[in-house]
C-alpha cells in the first residue's frame, strides 16, 4: 500500500485514518515514498486554516485546545491537531503528553490528534510539521491546530507557520519584563490569560494589554487579550470568535496569501538546512578525525575559523 503513491493519496483524501497516520510517519521518518507523496500533495492541496497555540508549560494549552475544538465541532467543522513536544537532546527520545488533556475529544470521528516530537537534530524546524498540515488538509480537515510549548526560537518558528497564533499565559507568569523576554509576545495575534480564577489575573491582562499596545503602530490588527478558565469552560467562545475575526482580517487585507508565502519560504530554508546537515555537516561530525580538530583547537594549534574553512571549502 505504502508503495503506491496514487492509492495513498486517494485513501488520505477519503479520510482513511490508518493511511493518514502512516503517511505522517513516512514524512517524519523521511522515507523516499513519503517524499514522493509530498511532491504530489504540494502541487494539489490548499492548506486548511492553521491556528497555532503556544505558551509556557502548564499554562493550559491542551485543555484550551480541547475546548476550542469542542466549539468547532458544534459547527460541524473537522479538526486536525498536531501536538508538539520537545525531543530530548540527550537521548533523542521524547515524552508526548498532550493527549492527557484531550480525552473528551479523543474518540470524536471528526477529530484527528497527532503527537509529534520536534526531532530537528541541529537546530532548525522539523519540516514534517508543515507536511502534516498538508496531509490533514488533503484529508478534508477545516481547521488545523498546531500546539507547542512556547519557549525558544524553535517554537517561535513553529508558531510562525500558523495563520492565527494564540499565545497562552497564566497570572503567575511574572512581570512585564518576563513576558517581554519570552519573545513570543511579538508573534501572538491573540493573547489569552488562562486560569482566571487565580489571584492577579486581571493585572496580567492589563500588563499584556499595555505591552501589545506598543506593537507596530502601523499594523491594523490590535491583538485582543482574553481572560479564560479552560477547566470551567469560561471565555472559550471569545477565543473562537477572535480566531474568526483574525481570519477575516487576513482575508480582507490579502495577508493570508502573504503568510502562506512566508511559510513556503521557511519550508525551503528548512529543507536546505536539512540537506546541508545531512550531506555535509553530519559526515564531518561522524568522521573519526573530527575529535582531533577539537583537540588541536584546544591546544591552540589551530583556530575554529580556519578549521571550518578547511573542512567546508565553499567559495
In DSSP terms, which residues pair with 116 in a beta bridge? 84
Closest distance to other proteins from the beta carbon of 92 (Å): 4
Q: Where are the alpha helices (DSSP H) in 105-254?
A: 128-138, 153-161, 176-181, 201-213, 236-252
Q: Which of 3, 75, 76, 91 binds other proteins (CB under 8 A)?
A: 91
Q: What is the DSSP letter of 152?
A: S
User: Between residues 111 and 170, which has the closer beta carbon with respect to other proteins?
Assistant: 111
Could you give the CA distance from residue 41 to residue 35 in angstroms, rounded to a whole number? 10
User: Between residues 80 and 188, which has the closer beta carbon with respect to other proteins?
Assistant: 80
Question: Is 93 one of the binding residues for other proteins (CB under 8 A)?
Answer: yes
Question: Is 178 one of the binding residues for other proteins (CB under 8 A)?
Answer: no
C-alpha cell of residue 20: 493518514
Question: Is 177 one of the binding residues for other proteins (CB under 8 A)?
Answer: no
Site string for other proteins, 110-149 (x = CB under 8 A): --xxxx-x-x-x------x---------------------
Q: What is the DSSP letter of 146?
A: E
Mark the segment that binds other proteins (CB under 8 A) among 107-115, 130-138, 182-190, 250-258.
107-115
Residues within window 13-32 making contact with other proteins, judged by CB under 8 A: 17-18, 20-22, 24-25, 28-30
User: Between residues 121 and 307, which has the closer beta carbon with respect to other proteins?
Assistant: 121
For 5, 41, 79, 121, 272, the CA distances from 38, given in Å and listed in that order, are 10, 5, 21, 21, 16
Mark the segment that binds other proteins (CB under 8 A) among 101-109, 163-171, 233-241, 291-299.
101-109
- E strand or H helix that includes residue 143: strand 143-149
What are φ and ψ of residue 313, in 5° steps?
A: -80, 65
Size of the site for other proteins (CB under 8 A): 34
Question: Is 78 one of the binding residues for other proteins (CB under 8 A)?
Answer: no
Taking alpha carbons only, the member of 154, 191, 146 closest to residue 173 is: 191
Residues 6+ apart with CB under 8 A from 18: none
Mark the segment that binds other proteins (CB under 8 A) among 102-110, 129-137, 154-162, 300-308.
102-110
Question: Is 73 one of the binding residues for other proteins (CB under 8 A)?
Answer: no
User: Between residues 29 and 295, which has the closer beta carbon with respect to other proteins?
Assistant: 29
Closest distance to other proteins from the beta carbon of 132 (Å): 12
In DSSP terms, which residues pair with 115 in a beta bridge? 83
Helix (H, G, I), strand (E, B) or coil at 71: helix
Residues 6+ apart with CB under 8 A from 31: none
User: Between residues 59 and 127, which has the closer beta carbon with respect to other proteins?
Assistant: 127
Question: Is 99 one of the binding residues for other proteins (CB under 8 A)?
Answer: yes
User: Between residues 96 and 311, which has the closer beta carbon with respect to other proteins?
Assistant: 96
Report the DSSP pairing between strands 143-149 and 49-55.
Answer: parallel
Residue 76, exposed/middle/buried by CB under 10 A (0-12, 13-18, 19+)? exposed
Could you give the CA distance from residue 284 to residue 282 in angstroms, rounded to a whole number? 5
| Residues near other proteins (CB under 8 A) | 17-18, 20-22, 24-25, 28-30, 87-88, 90-97, 99-101, 103, 106-107, 112-115, 117, 119, 121, 128
Amino acid at each position: 500500500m505504502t508503495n503506491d503513491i496514487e492509492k495513498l493519496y486517494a485513501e488520505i483524501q477519503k479520510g482513511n485514518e490508518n493511511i493518514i497516520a502512516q503517511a505522517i510517519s513516512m514524512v517524519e521518518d523521511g522515507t523516499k515514498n513519503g517524499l514522493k507523496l509530498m511532491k504530489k500533495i504540494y502541487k494539489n492541496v490548499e492548506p486548511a486554516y492553521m491556528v497555532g497555540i503556544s505558551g509556557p508549560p502548564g499554562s493550559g494549552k491542551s485543555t484550551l485546545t480541547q475546548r476550542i475544538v469542542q466549539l468547532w465541532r458544534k459547527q460541524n467543522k473537522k479538526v486536525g491537531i498536531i501536538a508538539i513536544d520537545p525531543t530530548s537532546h540527550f537521548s533523542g527520545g521524547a515524552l508526548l503528553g498532550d493527549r492527557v488533556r484531550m480525552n473528551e475529544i479523543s474518540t470524536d470521528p471528526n477529530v484527528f490528534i497527532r503527537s509529534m516530537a520536534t526531532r530537528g537534530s541541529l537546530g532548525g524546524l522539523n519540516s514534517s510539521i508543515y507536511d502534516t498540515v498538508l496531509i490533514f488538509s488533503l484529508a478534508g480537515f477545516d481547521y488545523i491546530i498546531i500546539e507547542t510549548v512556547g519557549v525558544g526560537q524553535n517554537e517561535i518558528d513553529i508558531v510562525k507557520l500558523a495563520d492565527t497564533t494564540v499565545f497562552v499565559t497564566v497570572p503567575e507568569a511574572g512581570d512585564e519584563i518576563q513576558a517581554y523576554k519570552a519573545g513570543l509576545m511579538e508573534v501572538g495575534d491573540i493573547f489569552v490569560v488562562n486560569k482566571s480564577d487565580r489571584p492577579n489575573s486581571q493585572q496580567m491582562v492589563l500588563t499584556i494589554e499595555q505591552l501589545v499596545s506598543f506593537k507596530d503602530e502601523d499594523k491594523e490588527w490590535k491583538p485582543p487579550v482574553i481572560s479564560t478558565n479552560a477547566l470551567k469552560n469560561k471565555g472559550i467562545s471569545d477565543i473562537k470568535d477572535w480566531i474568526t475575526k483574525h481570519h477575516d482580517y487576513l482575508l480582507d487585507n490579502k495577508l493570508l496569501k502573504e503568510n502562506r508565502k512566508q511559510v513556503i519560504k521557511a519550508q525551503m530554508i528548512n529543507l536546505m538546512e536539512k540537506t546541508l546537515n545531512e550531506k555535509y555537516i553530519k559526515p564531518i561530525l561522524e568522521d573519526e578525525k573530527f575529535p582531533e580538530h577539537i583537540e588541536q583547537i584546544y591546544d591552540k594549534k589551530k583556530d575554529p575559523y580556519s578549521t571550518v574553512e578547511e573542512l567546508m571549502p565553499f567559495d
